[in-house]
Amino acid sequence: MSHLNRDGVAIYYNDCGTGPTTVILTHGYSATSSMWQGQIETFSDRYRIITWDIRGHGQSDSPEDVSLYSEAHSIADMRAILNECGVERAVVGGLSLGGYLSLAFHVAHPELVSALMLFDTGPGYKKDEARDGWNQMAVKRAVTLEERGLAALGSGNEVRIASHRSAQGLANAARGILTQVDDRIIQSLPEISISTLILVGENDKTFLTPTDYMAAKIPGSKKVVIKDAGHASNIDQPAAFNQAVAEFLEAQ
């Protein structure tokens, strides 16, 4: 467990396990890297597993300046962690916001990504109106956190096991990272030429259609639906989730 200094902002990460393949996993909004504990326990005997806390979350710093929260900052944090760990190429995966950031990381640094794993997530929006609706939701969450503090956090399984230090940090992350600015990510899907696992819980109604869309647009991708699982599919049904991930990683 370590912290990386990113221009005065400490970013927490955990690097464990050994093996020829490195996997970096990114959590969802208002969750933390603790959501991946089951995957660390399952896979670190044969894979190197790196997890981390997005700025504003968990054990990473929460700078006051909202301009220090963005997709670009998150991608740079991921690259800096891989550099610090001496990793030249990795399987990049994440859930919800973490899945979107994984796609964004591939757009920015395709040479660093050997495969993608996209869990209970979506690729953003082509239409400005739909994106504006998403952004309004994100800003509303920020305002609620500023008004009610950490008591305003949701009740999802991945959120309940999270521990945060700053409601304002989460609010800033909602405004700067959860919001989206364009359609670059969704437009990039047909250009993805690496192995991609798309996984969703069957009860995660919000992301059933987006995962169908990604499966149709990403050439050669594999989609898995986890029965009796919601948004935190890795926590709701860990055995089925880990089996799907194991089969995918073994094929790389």
Instruction: Encode pLDDT of 100-147 as tens digits.
Output: 999 999 999 999 999 999 999 999 999 999 999 999 999 999 999 999
Structural domain containing residue 124: 2-250
Burial of 81: CB neighbours in 10 Å, binned 0-12, 13-18, 19+: buried
What is the per-residue pLDDT for 54?
98
Up-side HSE of residue 237: CA atoms within 13 Å toward CB? 21
Domain count across the chain: 1
DSSP 223: E
pLDDT one-digit tens code per residue, 49-71: 999 999 999 999 999 999 999 99
**Of 37, 57, 52, which Cα lies nearest the Cα of 83?**
52
**Of 121, 124, 106, 108, which Cα lies nearest the Cα of 195?**
106
What is the per-residue pLDDT for 68?
98
d(CA 39, CA 133): 33
Q: Which helix (H) or strand (E) holds 102?
A: helix 97-108
What is the per-residue pLDDT for 117?
98
How remote is the C-alpha of 166 from its chain's centroid? 20
pTM: 0.96
Q: What is the CA radius of gyration of the chain?
A: 17
Q: What percent of the chain clears pLDDT 90, i.e. is strictly above it?
A: 95
**Of 157, 91, 88, 152, which Cα lies nearest the Cα of 118?**
91
What is the per-residue pLDDT for 154?
75
CB atoms within 10 A of CB 41: 14
- Tell me the backbone φ, ψ of residue 46, rounded to 5 degrees: -140, -5
Average pLDDT over the chain, rounded to whole? Answer: 96
**Of 234, 173, 249, 170, which Cα lies nearest the Cα of 204?**
234
What is the per-residue pLDDT for 83?
98
d(CA 21, CA 43): 11
CATH of the domain at 112: 3.40.50.1820
Tokens of 231: 């948004």
Please answer whether residues 45 and 64 qualify as being in contact, where contact means their C-beta atoms are separated by less than 8 angstroms.
no
